[in-house]
Amino acid sequence: MPTVEKSPLLTSVLILFAVATFVYRYWDVFFKSYGERGKVYFGWTLYLLGLVHSLIGILALVEYLLWRPSYNWLIGAIAFALFVAGQGLRNWAVSSLGPYHSPKIEIKPGHRLIQKPPYRYLRNPYYAGVILEVLATPLILNAYLAFAFSVVGYLPILFLRAAMEEKILRDYFGAAYVEYEKKTPRFVPRLRNRVEA
């Protein structure tokens, strides 16, 4: 098994990673300004996800520090690659939305339905990136109980929020959003057969 003994250097790096991720995400979600304000719906969902996200991070750190005598670097490395992919997808989604991005469920003045990449391939690329992040973070710390908690405690709330957000978008954009839903999957891109007849 590709494990190494935990060292002070490894522990310091992993704690620094967890704290930096926590600080960055909270600043990005709760304090960073994203353009003009609009009408917010189901505001409580953001705070609930933030609370559960925090619990996952705390549980992962406690599990790593108290219950793991060794570290599986292969799982950690694969999880880190997934984390980076999730961050890339999330940032791409934010960039594509431009002034219409918000960590809240929010309809801004003049809100437009964005369908350029990555929204051409997924209706919820931001959430897909967050899913990768939330699942990868505990695995970077080899925290398997925290990983299980993220699956059963965080993902159902995120899926519920995505459904609530899509109802708001369907009500706002009408038939245009219904058509977009028909051709674009929610979280996982379709593998289309592109063979010409």
Q: Is the pLDDT of residue 24 over 80?
A: yes
What pLDDT digit, counting tens, does each position of 149-180 carry?
999 999 999 999 999 999 999 999 999 999 99
What's the confidence (pLDDT) of residue 33? 85
What's the confidence (pLDDT) of residue 147? 98
What's the confidence (pLDDT) of residue 192? 63
Q: What is the mean pLDDT of the chain?
A: 93
Q: Is the pLDDT of residue 1 over 90?
A: no
What's the confidence (pLDDT) of residue 136? 97
Domain spans of the chain? 3-183
Q: Which CATH number fits domain 3-183: 1.20.120.1630, 1.10.1060.10, 1.10.150.80, 3.40.50.620?
A: 1.20.120.1630
The encoded tokens of residue 125 equal 């690329």
Share of the chain above pLDDT 70, in %: 96
Better-predicted residue by pLDDT, 69 or 119: 119
pLDDT, mean of residues 23-49:
92
